[in-house]
Amino acid sequence: MQDVPSTRDANPAGTLPLHCISDGQYPAWRGEQSETLRKWLDGSGFAPERGRWMLLPDASGQAVGVLVATGKEPFDNRAVFWLGAALADRLPVGRYRLAGPLPAEQAFVLGFLHGGYRFARYRSGATLQQRPQLEFPPSVDARYVQAATGASNLARDLINTPANDMGPDELEHAAARLTERSGGELRVVRDASLAGQFPLIAAVGQGSPRAPRLLDLRFARVGAPRITLVGKGVCFDTGGLDMKPSAGMALMKKDMGGAACVLGAAQMLRELDVPIDLRVLIPAVENSVDGNAFRPGDVWRSRKGLSVEITNTDAEGRLVLADALALASEATPDLLVDFATLTGAARVALGPELPPVYSGSPELVRELLAHADAVMDPLWPMPLWDAYDEDLSSRIADLNNAPAGGMAGSITAALFLRRFVADPGRWLHLDIYGWNARERPGRPQGAEAQGIRAVVELLRQRFA
């Protein structure tokens, strides 16, 4: 995982100031500059459109600062976050500081650190390229931004790692490293014990030579509120016997994105010392194909006792989550949150950047969304529409895992999961994407961490 640089105590000598100027401020700011600099700005055709920037030279041509256009006022935290992220991707290598106050300085710094992420593990002989460094203003909570950036980087590193190096074994090793670093305990259920206790997890993984397992991470705190995070850990998804086409399989290394995000969230919660009794559950499997693979038409009994007819082996994520959610519910946590790269339907509805969130409690969703907006980690509320619950019916079992027709796929997946949650009013389900499909400033193509800051902020504000 990339280190997160700390610049709070950096020596400002040689540090270039960032003059962040809105379009309304630009005429007055320009008028205060030297004639030479005014000519330079006018000759370059600089316009104060958000995201544009320019190195400012002195009379000898040496850079003495950077002009950054913030665009029209007012602008929200998210705009400031992505402004910082884009600058981290574009500025020359060097050290920088804000020249004056900027609305949402913490959002800017967090975005700057977020935008500096790169994944270079597999580039022959390559080391991570040096990135521009930003001195933290006094207003910024350095501990928070470093913990948030480290959590995001951990999740993105795990998601970006290809499946040949990120199977159930490697995901277990990542969980073990986290518990060692953060003072937790890891319990692993596998082999015959897995089949007896978690039959749906075992069924999904039985077609792969890479053994399925349940990872149970515990960070005990006696007497504290009990929080359980569950992350979908499908390390690669072929679709099983209902096999995906090649285009649909191309990104399936990211199907453990939910597991990556709950590990990142756990790391962040521990680094910020949020006073909770934390448990993390990850069903780690590979959905593959051989003579042992589970089949369409099979009926499997879940940990909760409900029987499930398999109508589509490519709807495997909800199966492994069902057993994990049932286990989590047995301990009656104060809050249960699951992260999962669960449905393409969520992407059709809301696109790749806005994960839907479900819960049996509208008030809990509103509380989460308020915190999500504050920390630039957007989510969107979706309904657990009870009328669609009948789509899960089966002629031969208690329910099916994939209703025919494909309508409201994200909602019916959430309704399936709800069947395995003891108290939906204390449950949140995030259907994340975990990926940037195209290259943009501050957003390299590849893994994206979603929901981590939002959920951590909810827990911080409730319990810290």
Question: Which residues are marked as active site?
Answer: 244, 318
Q: Using the 8-state DSSP alphabet, how is residue 92 labeled?
A: P
Torsion angle, alpha carbons of 82, 84, 87, 89, to 10: -70
d(CA 127, CA 446): 18
Contact 344, 430 (CB under 8 A): no
75 three-class SS = coil
CA 209 to chain CA centroid, Å, is: 28
| Alpha-carbon torsion, ordered 300, 306, 312, 317, to 10 deg | -100
Sheet containing 53-57: order of strands: 53-57, 63-71, 16-22, 95-98, 133-134
As a whole number of angstroms, the distance between CA 75 and CA 104 comes to 9
CB atoms within 10 A of CB 122: 10
Closest CA to 342 of 446, 398, 268, 418: 418
For 40-154, where are the E strands, in sequence order? 53-57, 63-71, 95-98, 133-134
Give the dihedral sign, CA 324/327/329/335. Answer: negative
